[in-house]
Each structure stands twice: as structure tokens, then as C-alpha cells.
Chains A and B, each alone.
Chain A
Amino acid sequence: MHPAPSIILFTTLSGLGYGLAAVLGFGLLDPSAIATKFAHILALALIAGGLVSSTLHLGNPQRAWRAFSQWRSSWLSREGVMAVLTFVPLGINAIASVWSGRYLPLPGLIGAVFCGVTVYCTAMIYASLRSVQAWNTEWTPVSYLLFALAGGLVLASFFSALGGNAYPLLPLLTAMAIGAAWLAKAYWWARLRAMAVLSTPETATGLGAIGKVRLLEPPHMNGNYLTNEMGFRVARKHAARLRQIAVISGGVLPALLLAVLALSGDISGAPAVAMSGVAVLLIFGGTLVERWLFFAEARHSVMNYYGS
């Protein structure tokens, strides 16, 4: 599948935003700290920015409002509906913190749950497609949810270090969430490696009863919408190296930084701010690479008709 930058940026940014908003919804940060107020605003900005970037690839964005109508059958529509609904509790939480420095448990918890549901809907857009076998697994929503949580916790660790008065277990929780996210991703990759291919050129043409099928002549000289959208192959050559980069940048290094922070006991001083800040940048970069691979490594069944 073609890794469209707008979609990669959308899933990464909105994942981080929803993760941070969920952690804020659980009330793990001091609501009166200036840093927490900024965290609320950043979470909303990340979510909104992600949504805007996801509309950039639409052919007719002026009709995007219609996408709220088919929630009964379409995961994309469900995602749109949930994204809008989630703004309500998140907005209330942000206002409560920014204006009066208070944490409201009920909207907070509702917001956290809605964040999870929205990320689940995003992941199910991909996981529900049988035509892309790599995505068509429950490990896809599991890894999306855990990546959002891990990213959100890393951001929360940074803001809590900045604001002082931090929840003492936060860095440890964060390191554990990062581990869980990459464990889920390891399962996802293991499945991708081991799975028996569902559709082949033989089943695609129905000619398997005669013999082995090979494309002799494509329909046209040049590529088309289908090959541009679903025929991406550049990444596979470097997939192994990119996986290492993703795991080290998005997993090993930020988890180590936060584990060191948890062990040092000093989780709100200047070193803690610097370490968790670096962890934020690392996990953002690592998640971008992971998301890029998510698209680039996935093979669409239509490529059985195009000889690759």
C-alpha cells in the first residue's frame, strides 16, 4: 500500500493526541499546573491537526460532513462520529483545567474511554479490510491502542516533569506501556511473516486449475490509480533496517530514558524534563517509521493482477 504522508501524519499525531488526552482524563497530572494546561491544549491541537491532515487526501473535502452518516456500516464514518463526540468531554476537561485549574472525574473518564473508542475505530478502518491481509487482524487495533497509550504517557511524563508535582509512578507506567506496544507490534510482524497468503495470482484469475499464473502483459504501458495507490514496493527492500530504526527510536531508547527516570527518583527536575522531552521526540519519530512500514509492507490483493 502506498504510504501517503497525510495518513501517516494523521494516525501518528491523532494517536499521540488521544493518548495524552486519555492520560489527562485519568487525572494523572496536577490540573492546576501551567504545564498541564498546555498539555490539554496540545492534546486538542494534535487531534484537530491530525483530523485536518486526514482531509488533505480527499478528492472533494467540501462534502466531508457527509462522512458522519454511515456509522451503521462504515468504520471510517464511525471514526468521524467518535472524533467529533470525543471533543465534547475533552473540551470540558480542557476548560476545567485551563480556566479553573480543576480536574473533573466524570468528563475525564468519559473522555478517556471515548479516546480509546476513537483510536479503535481508526485502527478498524484498516483491520476490517480483507483485501489487505497484513492489516486484517485483531493485532492491528491492539497495536494502535497501545501505541496511542504509550505515546500519550510519554507526552504526559514530559508535562508532569515540567509542571513539578508529578505522579510518582508515571515514568514506570510509561516504560511498561512502551514495552507493551512493541510487544503487540512484534506479534503483528510475526503474524505477517508466518501467514499463509490468502489470495494469489491463481485464485485471482481462477486459472490455478491449469497451472502457475504469471502476468505476461499489463493492461496499459504505464501505472494507473490502482498501481500508484496499492503497488508500493520501495520500502520492502529496507524493511528490516527500518524496523530496527523504529524499534530503537520508538521503543528501546524512550523506554530506557523513562526507566532511568523512574529509578532515579527525581522525576520533576530539569534533567527529568530534558530526558522525557527527548523521549517524546524519539517516540514520535519511531512511531512515524512504524506507521510508514504499516502501509509500505502491506500487500493489496489487487497486485495479484499486476504481477507483484
Chain B
Amino acid sequence: MTMLPTLPTPKKLGLVIDLDVCVGCHACVISCKEWNTGGYGAALSDQDPYGSQVSGTFLNRIHTFEVVPEGGEVVGEAGDARIVHFPKSCLHCEDASCVTVCPTGASYKRSADGIVLVDEDKCIGCGLCAWACPYGAREMDLAAGVMKKCTLCVDRIYNETLQEIDRVPSCVRTCPANARHYGDFADPTSKVSMMVAERGGIDLMPEQGTRPVNKYLPPRPRKPLASTLPLAENTDGAKGFFAWLDGMLDRI
């Protein structure tokens, strides 16, 4: 059934991704692929896996962007440009355009927790949902001919055979920098809701009208590297013993 839930879902499960913290190690990409190739639905195939044109299906990818402030300079690390590693997976949108375009009813949004899933037994592999998603969250598996997407590890988060600490999406569990957080956005007192409120969490492409559930925490403001150069290079503002030493060394 590809109509969206008529009422707001009582739970809004999703991720917070902290762009200030992500180091771009791609561990979440690998753990996602590892978990999901053996979990829910068809395996995540690779094409030409040992050749020069290797490519494959991934539900989570890390892009790396360079951001240059207006009038800023790009001079290696000392310049004003900054590097932002940017993990991207399904945002489990409230107005998921990928769901309503599906002709077969394979694509759906769960009314209980808002997770967007594909019923692969109904998917004909037409690819229209991948066109409708502005974020590129859906990828057709070229071996199985069905659409794959992030399931929010629905086979982990409710899985009581796992230890409680493991009942979070694989990417969240794996992240060595703690850049990814999982929780319920419908609950204003949840950890993820509070992080979003504190740090000014943002929606990606709000102009697309999809109302994503996942939020991104913007990188914190950064001082230019030049302003934090150690005193050895620059003695202005030296105090106490170092000011005395600076003066003495100048005099002898």
C-alpha cells in the first residue's frame, strides 16, 4: 500500500548524524553492507567485484565536501576552507516521495514507527522510487533487480536475540567516532531530539518538501588555524615568565 500513513506516526525512528564529529573513515559503509547483505531481503551485490570497474549496491555512502566561506582562501590547512565528511543514507522522510510513486505497493512507510521499507517480493524494479528520492537514498540491486534501501536495521533494533547494546542500526553501533546516533524523534525528551534542539539540527534539501526524519548537526564554528599558532612562532600576547624570557632574549 503506497499511501503514506494518514496520521503522524507515534514513533519517528531515525538517525542524527554529527558532521562535526565524522572523520570519514567509512567504517559505517562497510558495517552497513556487511549486516544488510546477509539480513533483510536480497543480498547487496557487487558488479565486477575484482575488476577495474568495480561497483555495487550500498545503503550508506560517505561523501567528502570542501566548504569555503565567502571571501575565504584555500591554502591547505591554514586556509579558511574546511573539509566535511558527509555520511548519507535514507532519511525516512515523513512525506516520502519514493513511497507514493511506487506502482506496486512494494514501497511503504510503517505507520507504527515511520521506517520506510521495500517489500522485495512485490518490487518490479522499475526504478521510479529512486528517481523520486531527491537524496539518492535508494539503489537498485543489479543482480536481484529489486530496489534496496536503508531499513534502519529493522532486523536489529527490535531483535531481542541480540544484546540490548546491539539493538541499534549497524552504522551507529560501528561508528568509532560516535558521529551517528539513533533514536525516536517523536519523543522530545529522547537523546536525539535533545541533540537536535541543542545543536540546531538541520534537514537536507527542505525545499524538496519531503520532511526528512534524520537530522544533521552542522559543524561547529572554527577559529582560523593562524590564530592558534603556538607562541614559538609569535610572541605577541606572551605573559608572565614567557614575557620576561621574551624580553631578556631580545636584550642579550
Scoring B residues 214 to 250 as 1 if CB is less than 8 Å from chain A, else 0, what string do you get? 0010110000000000000000000000000000000
Stretch at the interface among A182-190, A221-229, A242-250, A269-277: A221-229
Does the CB pair A210–B205 fall under 8 Å? no
Q: In the complex, what distance in Å separates the CA atom of A219 from the CA atom of B86?
A: 9
Does the CB pair B124–A66 fall under 8 Å? yes
Q: Closest residue to A223 on the B side, CB-wise?
A: B55
Tell me whether A75 is interfacial, beta carbon within 8 Å. yes
Does the CB pair B67–A207 fall under 8 Å? yes
Tell me whether A240 is interfacial, beta carbon within 8 Å. no
Does the CB pair B102–A70 fall under 8 Å? yes
Does the CB pair A305–B146 fall under 8 Å? no
Q: A67-B104, A70-B105, A206-B202 are in contact. Are A125 and B128 (CB under 8 A)?
A: yes
Tell me whether A11 is interfacial, beta carbon within 8 Å. no
Tell me whether A300 is interfacial, beta carbon within 8 Å. yes
Does the CB pair B61–A58 fall under 8 Å? no
Does the CB pair B83–A216 fall under 8 Å? yes
Q: Closest residue to A303 on the B side, CB-wise?
A: B136
Q: In the complex, what distance in Å separates the CA atom of A80 from the CA atom of B68?
A: 48
Tell me whether B101 is interfacial, beta carbon within 8 Å. yes
Tell me whether B39 is interfacial, beta carbon within 8 Å. no
Q: In the complex, what distance in Å separates the CA atom of A212 from the CA atom of B97?
A: 28
Tell me whether B65 is interfacial, beta carbon within 8 Å. yes
Q: A58-B124, A199-B207, A207-B218 are in contact. Are A302 and B104 (CB under 8 A)?
A: no
Tell me whether A203 is interfacial, beta carbon within 8 Å. yes
Does the CB pair A63–B124 fall under 8 Å? yes
B133: which A residues are within 8 A, CB to CB? Answer: 131, 302
Chain A contact residue count (CB 8 A cutoff): 60
Tell me whether A137 is interfacial, beta carbon within 8 Å. no
Q: Which of A148-199 contact B (CB under 8 A)?
A: 198-199
A305: which B residues are within 8 A, CB to CB? Answer: 63, 86, 88, 135-136
Q: In the complex, what distance in Å separates the CA atom of A19 from the CA atom of B177?
A: 60
Size category of the binding interface on chain B? 35 or more
Does the CB pair A57–B68 fall under 8 Å? no
Q: A72-B3, A209-B218, A212-B68 are in contact. Are A130 and B101 (CB under 8 A)?
A: no
A236: which B residues are within 8 A, CB to CB? Answer: none
Tell me whether A264 is interfacial, beta carbon within 8 Å. no
Does the CB pair B130–A64 fall under 8 Å? no
Q: Which of B79-126 contact A (CB under 8 A)?
A: 80-84, 86, 88, 97, 99-106, 122-126
Does the CB pair B145–A76 fall under 8 Å? no
Tell me whether A61 is interfacial, beta carbon within 8 Å. yes
Tell me whether B41 is interfacial, beta carbon within 8 Å. no
B interface residues, Cβ below 8 angstroms from A: 1-3, 19, 29, 53-58, 61-70, 72, 80-84, 86, 88, 97, 99-106, 122-128, 130-136, 139-142, 144-146, 202-209, 216, 218-219
15 CB contacts below 8 A, A to B, read A58-B125, A59-B123, A61-B124, A66-B103, A73-B2, A74-B100, A80-B103, A206-B204, A211-B81, A213-B65, A214-B66, A216-B83, A224-B61, A226-B130, A305-B88
